[in-house]
A and B are shown apart, each in its own frame.
Chain A
Amino acid sequence: MIQAKTQKQRRKESKPAEIVQPGPGPRLAKSVKRLQRQAPLLAFQGLSELSARLRQMTGRDVIDMNRVMEFAQFMYKQQELMRRGANYEVDEFGFDPQWTESFLSMFMVLYRDYWRVETSGIENVPATGRALLVSNHAGVLPWDGTMIKTAVFAEHPHPRHVRALVASLFMGMPMLSWFLRRTGQTVGHPDDTRRLLERDELVLVFPEGVRGTGKSFKDRYRLRRFGRGGFVATAIRSGAPIIPVSVVGSEEIYPMVADVAPLARFLGLPYFPITPTWPWLGPLGMIPLPSKWRIQFHAPIHVEEHPPEAANDNNLVMALADEVRDTIQQGIYDNLKRRRGVFL
């Protein structure tokens, strides 16, 4: 039991309150401190004034304030991510949505300004529920996956994260394995596809796999074999509609003229590309060319209307896989016709 204390006792035992001193450091004048606090705001004000002046003088947007604001937002988001420490949750696949969204603004720059992607048919992507996006695969590095992800997140009225399936080869690579998992990708394993679809996610597959990315420049826009139609079987079993996606422009980012197979075998890679810039310019050769991209989402093919047992019917599965492949190929030809030139 707690003993009641008299006022006198309490006064006797009490200690003087400690005054918390500010830590040692350079003492700044008040005006300097105020300036420090207001610096970002002042910088923005100055920059916007400058941009307005420049627009008056030249008649064009020399400094686009929206872009500047986006950049500032990106920096603030990064700061916020640093601040959360270990207090965040990832889903069971290792996906961290907050972290991914902070990076999407960086991919937005590529999407909008570098490749000037034109997206059509985004209304074919459902706002909720499961769906399997099936796309052609090209370019030596899988940039098309990031652009489809960015397209759905930026253009869709109900922004969604696309979960792409990647080759196990990339999951064994340092940096990439970490980055891909963190941004919601997972291994291209039938079991993983099923689980993601059962959680009503939007799953992206590239049935061509490395056969698509590793084809040479003269074979551009010719689809390779679509695996063994495994993606159709998985979609039927999970009751998910298939949405074919045609990507145009990804073939020209790294025009691959040759493949040094022995070197690739030695390094454990599926192919070792030779492009006009790689490996001659070293790391500079990794910079993709600024081709003009078009992404088209086609009308969904409702394979979920078939009963789950139909997944074992090889005839049906192969027919559906062919239908998907034809839709994508047709979409590629249409978009190539609509494009004025490779870089326009």
Chain B
Amino acid sequence: MTPTRPYRVLVTGVSNPLGAEVARRLAPHVPHLFGCDLRDPISALEEMDFVHADTRHVAIGKLIRQLNVDTVVHLAVMVDSPRDERSIHETDVIGTMNVLAGCSAPSGRVRRLIVKSSQAIYGAGPGDPSFFSEEMTSVERPVSSVTRDLLDMEQLVSEFAVRNESCQVSVLRLGFRVSEDTTLARYLSLPIVPTFAGFDPRLQLLHEDDAVEAIVRATLGQQSGVFNVAAQGVVLLSQAIAIMGGTPAPVLPPYGRWIGRLALRALTHVDLQSHLADVIAFGSVMDCAKLEAELGWRPTYTSRAVMDALARGKTLEVIEAPSPPQEYELQVYLQRRRRNARNGQTAAPVLEAHR
């Protein structure tokens, strides 16, 4: 074991599709892999020890210390969620605070921390530069609640990075993803898509596959800092809609974004969050030069290819089907057996593995 390679890795938010895929790809590279989330994982992964844990409780810090992990991949950050703003705030800000508290414990062994953030942190407005570099976040202008939460969260993370120099902290600002369950994808797949009258912004997207690859590379790499992760090139909104086979209908009023949102919800049952409403009016494009320079890798799909993939219905198939319960129990049993064998059959499970 070299000190620079991640040895014991904890992945938070492992039960969402992104987290599950990250865990699956990390497993062959990492001797000990732990995962935690509120819900059951959507598929059982034999190499991973799964723990039910809520990042919103202080207990998560205890878990990090007890598991003795050296790398934390913090993916329990909600951006695109049907839940209310309050629970997004709790998860993003309070959850991250608890994870950071666990990492910065006096005898902390955490050497690397990867935090998932989002392109939503930049917001979108008419006066914005055409490309957002990593340092272009601004708190002055009126921002949506998600943007504010993400700004708060990254503030906490950067403070942590300053105080703990022994820990390499990477923040990945992932571009907007259009797998089948995101709001943006549901919006773009409508047969008739209401758009803001007189606006046809540029969209920059990120393929699910590339998002996973970026997180895995960041976990196994040596870099630290904030990185924009998004596909190359842009598509226009009208172009994206045409690729999906829909018809753009410029019927939403150009002024008063919240009226447009209400109208859209009434017409199509797609609840576009306010930061997304700004994006489909003004567009938001990130500059990913830093990612390419420091990770030596760039997303393989262009924005256009991401849209084509969505149109073909071929976004990354994370899990074939939810595993049946018996199989899940079997996996838990195998995990315990494996762990007991490793610990010389003495130690009781560190934490209750399942319920």
Contact B129 A90 (CB under 8 A): no
Contact B233 A174 (CB under 8 A): no
With A86-B242, A86-B243, A174-B254 known to touch, is A92 a contact of B130 (CB < 8 Å)?
A: yes
Name the distance in Å between A44's Cβ and chain B's nearest Cβ. Answer: 34
Contact B202 A94 (CB under 8 A): yes
With A94-B202, A171-B282, A174-B254 known to touch, is A89 a contact of B129 (CB < 8 Å)?
A: no
Contact B130 A195 (CB under 8 A): yes
Contact A189 B130 (CB under 8 A): yes
Q: B residues within 8 A CB of A175?
A: 198
Name the distance in Å between B349's Cβ and chain A's nearest Cβ. Answer: 52
Contact A92 B131 (CB under 8 A): yes
**Is there a chain B Cβ closer than 8 Å to A113's Cβ?**
no
Chain A residues numbered 161-211 whose CB sits less than 8 Å from any CB in chain B:
168-169, 171-178, 181-182, 186-187, 189, 191-192, 195
Question: How large, as a class, is the contact surface on chain A?
Answer: 20 to 34
- In the complex the two chains form, what is the Cα distance from A176 to B200 in whole Å? 10
B192-204 contact mask (Cβ, 8 Å, vs A): 1 or 0: 0000111111100
B228-266 contact mask (Cβ, 8 Å, vs A): 1 or 0: 000001111001001100000000001100000000000
With A168-B126, A169-B126, A191-B133 known to touch, is A177 a contact of B285 (CB < 8 Å)?
A: no
Identify the closest chain B residue to A169 (Cβ): B126
**Is there a chain B Cβ closer than 8 Å to A59's Cβ?**
no
Contact B129 A191 (CB under 8 A): yes
Q: B residues within 8 A CB of A176?
A: 198
Question: How large, as a class, is the contact surface on chain B?
Answer: 20 to 34
Q: A residues within 8 A CB of B129?
A: 187, 189, 191-192
Name the distance in Å between B195's Cβ and chain A's nearest Cβ. Answer: 10
- In the complex the two chains form, what is the Cα distance from A266 to B280 in whole Å? 26
Contact B128 A92 (CB under 8 A): no
- In the complex the two chains form, what is the Cα distance from A92 to B126 in whole Å? 16
**Is there a chain A Cβ closer than 8 Å to B275's Cβ?**
no
Name the distance in Å between B142's Cβ and chain A's nearest Cβ. Answer: 14
Contact A90 B202 (CB under 8 A): yes
Q: A residues within 8 A CB of B131?
A: 92, 191-192, 195
- In the complex the two chains form, what is the Cα distance from A338 to B233 in whole Å? 47
Identify the closest chain B residue to A177 (Cβ): B199
**Is there a chain A Cβ closer than 8 Å to B207's Cβ?**
no
Name the distance in Å between B1's Cβ and chain A's nearest Cβ. Answer: 43
Identify the closest chain A residue to B234 (Cβ): A92
Given contacts A168-B127, A169-B126, A178-B198, 10 further A-B contacts (CB under 8 A): A86-B243, A89-B233, A90-B202, A92-B234, A173-B254, A174-B255, A177-B126, A178-B199, A186-B130, A192-B130
Residues of B bordering A, CB below 8 Å: 125-131, 133, 136, 196-202, 233-236, 239, 242-243, 254-255, 282-283, 285, 304
8 tightest Cβ-Cβ pairs between the two chains A and B: A174-B198, A172-B126, A168-B127, A86-B242, A174-B254, A175-B198, A171-B126, A189-B129
